[in-house]
Structure 1
Amino acid sequence: MTFEAADNRYARTPIRRSGASGLQLPALSLGLWQNFGEDRTVETQREIVLRAFDLGVFHFDLANNYGPPPGSAESNFGRLLATDLAPYRDELVISTKAGWNMWPGPFGSGGARKYLVSSLDRSLARMGLDTVDVFYSHRPDPGTPLEETARALDFVVRSGRAHYVGISSYSPEATRQMAALMRDLGTPLAIHQPSYSMLNRWIETEGLLDATDDEGMGIIGFSPLGQGLLTSKYLDGIPDNARAAQGGSFDASWVTDELRDRLRSLNEIASARDQSLAQLAIAWALRDSRVTSLVAGASSVTQLEENLASLDRLEFSSDELAAIDELAVDAGIDNWRDAREGGPLPTVTAETFERSDDPA
């Protein structure tokens, strides 16, 4: 069946400008980090993406290594672009990134020009595109000068591979340095994508919000639900089918008795607002106008619609904010701290990396 987008697709979801740039995004963007690899059916992925667009979500956030396996999220999204969304390409904001592990060897991750440009070329091929709307340096690389990474980002814009560029998981100091370099090159950074949630407030406490505001950049926070912690799933423990029980990027040691007590109290505040805990968390993370958008994934249309319903009530009273501040404190779930503090790139060898990223 041929897809025809809803006529009223821009009627509900708020649209915000990213800093001082011309880039505009829906307040909630769809992230394809999880649930869009080969471990999910094409039918389910199609339902989620098309329903998102019908509801005003025109920004789809990807990266070269999203899957599993790496590259498959871009390939799957590229098929949806070709079969369903091609007539709407000019309405879409499609972003991708490079920085984390993608193939073996010294140029399979990091911030070197060779890796960034080669990775973007592969991403474009997987999605069947000539240009993405936003391309990010996905993490700082302590082994590559910031000047080289900046020149690579400038090149991808000037060569027509991307309309805008941004950075992800850079410290406030490195953000200011990169912004100055890009400004001198004539290609200002438009956006920064950091982790951000009620349980991971480093962009407030370490000054990133101030840095991006000073430099004219927007913020698009990822993991606003704390990798699922800020949902009802963990209020009574760790269910067998939860991400915490399956390993990966989620550390089960985060789910302490103290954390569950705080989650239950936050859930009570959410209930008093006629919201779920997840909806409260999303609305709260959008309370600052310097936050342009949030990236949230969805494993089903139902979950997508619940997340988007957060946007129906974004206002908070001063009493609500004060009560949340007492409970929304760091829970140690910032997996990306080491990267922004200059930690080394992970070592990847041909023996340990499963290559499946070729466009063919």
Structure 2
Amino acid sequence: MKISPSKLTLGTAQLGLPYGITNTLGLPSQESALNILNHAKKSGITTFDTAPAYGEAETRLGQWIHNFGSMEKDQPIIITKLPKFENNRNSSAANFVEKTIDQSLKTLKLQQIPLLLAHRAEDILNPAIYDSIISSKENGKIYSFGASVYDVDIAFELIEKTDISALQIPFSVADQRFVKSGLTSKARSKKITIFARSAFLQGVLLLSDTQIPEFLQELRIPVRMLNEIAAFNELSCANILLRSVAHHSEITSCVIGVESIVQLNTHITSYKKGPLPVHLSAEIFNLFNDISYETQNPGRWPKM
């Protein structure tokens, strides 16, 4: 089964904890978070991505959902995550999956989770976890499931060996691995929904070249050139970067994270400008052709 997400999905990590190395506003207040969620829905965003690992995000999202009432047509599409399974900390895979899903249902104030993603994609290849997820789907606790992936080879293995209906992948001009490998094309041919995250690489691609940390120095020259191209075309870098991902033919929905309604409006306005001209899209993707995996993956960055 598939869900039908909006073309923009609101990521809620920034609503639950101070997220990203470029975050300057910190954790928004409860009122600000609810206002952002309301504004997103009024603007046509129907899909919201969260996780137990995102601090207060699930709790705030649950409060917001509760405020809706129970009218089915108003119910948003909620994506949450199955945390990483740790053998030494959890009694059994089956109990871990069941308890995690039950807790998320309670926190989110939902009867059913529309889409559950494994936060560590490899966990779905664990037969005990996979079987427990299938059972949760059969008993109606989840509607569909998939994985949040970092590794292309793992994504291919999931497509071949499991019945996933969605993948969430990192995708930006600086990280084109999943598209270039043919993974997104193969997934789409199997009707697997593709969510793209990290369009701004945690905001690093929106910095000036002089602001980029030393450990990401290989981004400095392409980012400087990106800024020059944006200025020449009288566009912002945020506009170019978002449109290059959100309007990509192999992406179902682009996950955006915001700290304020102003940021949200900026992204929505950018998206509504439509796809980039083909020559401009090719030009900016070519700038970042040779970026290393250590730079592409925030999980490899030094702890700030």
The normalised TM-score by structure 2 is 0.84
Q: Deviations over 1:307-334 (max 9, x none)?
A: 1112122323332133213312325131
Question: What SS does the aligned partner of 2:14 have?
Answer: coil
Q: Which residue of 2 aligns with 1:334?
A: 297
Question: What SS does the aligned partner of 1:57 have?
Answer: coil
Q: Deviations over 1:85-107 (max 9, x none)?
A: 65466541011011337x99522
Question: What SS does the aligned partner of 1:35 have?
Answer: helix
Query: Taking structure 1 as reference, are residues 273 and 131 closer, same or farther at Cα in structure 2, changes over 3 Å only?
Result: farther
- The partner residue of 1:261 within 202, 221, 226 is 221
- How far has the Cα of 1:270 moved from its partner? 2.7
Verify: 1:323 aligned to 2:283, yes or no.
yes
Deviates more, 1:262-271 or 1:169-178: 169-178
- How far has the Cα of 1:202 moved from its partner? 1.6
- The partner residue of 1:213 within 185, 188, 191 is 188
* Distance (whole Å) between structure 1 residues aligned to residue 17 and residue 68 of structure 2: 18
CA contact (8 A) 1:37 1:76 kept: no
- The partner residue of 2:115 within 134, 137, 147 is 134
Q: Which residue of 1 aligns with 2:177?
A: 202
Question: What SS does the aligned partner of 1:227 have?
Answer: coil
CA contact (8 A) 1:65 1:100 kept: no
- The partner residue of 1:49 within 31, 37, 49 is 37
Q: Which residue of 2 aligns with 1:224?
A: 199
Higher helix share: 2
* Distance (whole Å) between structure 1 residues aligned to residue 126 and residue 120 of structure 2: 11
Q: Which residue of 1 aligns with 2:129?
A: 149
- How far has the Cα of 1:237 moved from its partner? 1.4
Query: Taking structure 1 as reference, are residues 198 and 131 closer, same or farther at Cα in structure 2, changes over 3 Å only?
Result: same
Verify: 1:98 aligned to 2:82, yes or no.
yes
Q: Which residue of 1 aligns with 2:210?
A: 236
- How far has the Cα of 1:120 moved from its partner? 1.3
Deviating above 6 A after TM superposition, structure 1's stretches of 4 or more consecutive aligned residues are none
Number of corresponding residues:
290
Question: What SS does the aligned partner of 1:167 have?
Answer: strand
CA contact (8 A) 1:172 1:207 kept: no
Q: Deviations over 1:173-231 (max 9, x none)?
A: 4434434444xxxxx42210011111111212333213313432121011111000122
* Distance (whole Å) between structure 2 residues aligned to residue 318 and residue 181 of structure 1: 36
Amino acid at match of 1:149: I
Aligned identity (percent) is: 22
Q: Deviations over 1:280-316 (max 9, x none)?
A: 1111013432200111110000000111112122323
- How far has the Cα of 1:171 moved from its partner? 4.0
**RMSD of aligned C-alpha atoms?**
2.8
Q: Which residue of 1 aligns with 2:10?
A: 30
* Distance (whole Å) between structure 2 residues aligned to residue 30 and residue 285 of structure 1: 14
- Name structure 2 gaps, 5 residues minimum: 19-26
Verify: 1:166 aligned to 2:140, yes or no.
no
CA contact (8 A) 2:8 2:246 kept: no
Amino acid at match of 2:188: D
Matches within 5 A, 1:284-323: 284-323=244-283
